[in-house]
Amino acid sequence: LNAAPGRAPRHQIRFLPAPGPGGGGAVELVAAQVPVLADHPLVRGPRFKKLKIGAGHRLDVKASGVFVLGIGHGNKLLTDLYNCHLSRVYTVGGLFGKATDDFSDTGNLVEKTTFDHITREKLERILAVIQGTNQKALLMYSNIDMKTQEAYELAVKGLIRPMGKSPPIITAVRCLQFALPEFHLEIHCLHETQQYLRKMVHEIGLELKSSAVCTQVRRIRDGVFTVDDAIPRTQWNLQSIQEAIQNCQLKVETELEKTLG
């Protein structure tokens, strides 16, 4: 950014004494345009010293995935997007057979259990129950009168969501892979923290009369931003970042229009 040409140094007019044309000792003032040294790049320093960068929804240290950042004026858009209360999607990895104090596979072991009795059907039954209870919470926090036609239409389109604060809500969950003792879930949620998702894995283990720890939490979607939009570290340069901002601009504007009007 700093390599782009900055503004040219100012010039100042200084009046310097010089011998007059008559050469007879008379002194004249000659106007000379002299660059102001105070504007010299080696004195002024680089044009951009700081950039205001804001972060979108939190992603804790053990998790990975899509992380949205805003630069400069983009930070305002971050706030607006937050107020849209869009959902996020994660792939969550789990491992049956043990329980730890922080629900992840790096925590201190609390207990070990058997898991041979667990089948995919049993897991999916539990997931359905979770989805059911969360659906009720979703409707409650969305503050919509369920008996109205409007509510029905919104529900059909899947547009019901709480537009204010609420505890974490799971809007959809399904099992992607099941290979004892490992399993992978895809979770769509709102107002979540990654630790809440790990706790969920732990509780699924308990419901199945066993125990489970969470091995991976990876965000694959944050609102309108997906993994395909994301820039890997190998492309963290000005060009790619500018392109990425341009590519997402339309999506962001459309969503903000739709929700906030």
* Residue number, 11 or 52, with CB nearest to another protein: 11
* Residue number, 5 or 232, with CB nearest to another protein: 232
* Three-state secondary structure call for residue 11: strand
Q: How far apart are CA 93 and CA 182, in angstroms?
A: 7
Q: How far apart are CA 117 and CA 115, in angstroms?
A: 5
Query: Catalytic: which of 39, 60, 80, 116?
Result: 60
* Residue number, 108 or 234, with CB nearest to another protein: 234
**Residue 29 Cβ vs another protein, minimum distance, rounded to whole Å:** 6
* Residue number, 18 or 128, with CB nearest to another protein: 18
Q: How far apart are CA 139 and CA 155, in angstroms?
A: 9
Going by DSSP bridges, is the β-strand pair 88-96/212-222 parallel, antiparallel, or unpaired? antiparallel
> Is 101 annotated as catalytic?
no
**Residue 6 Cβ vs another protein, minimum distance, rounded to whole Å:** 13
Crossing angle of helices 120-141 and 194-207, rounded to 10°: 130
Q: Which of 14, 61, 66, 28 is nearest to 229 (CA)?
A: 66
**Number of residues written out for the chain:** 261
Q: Which residues bind another protein (CB under 8 A)?
A: 17, 26-29, 36-38, 40, 42-46, 64, 218, 227, 230, 232-235
**Residue 23 Cβ vs another protein, minimum distance, rounded to whole Å:** 15
**Residue 197 Cβ vs another protein, minimum distance, rounded to whole Å:** 18
| DSSP symbol at 89 | E
Q: Which sequence positions are flagged as catalytic? A: 60
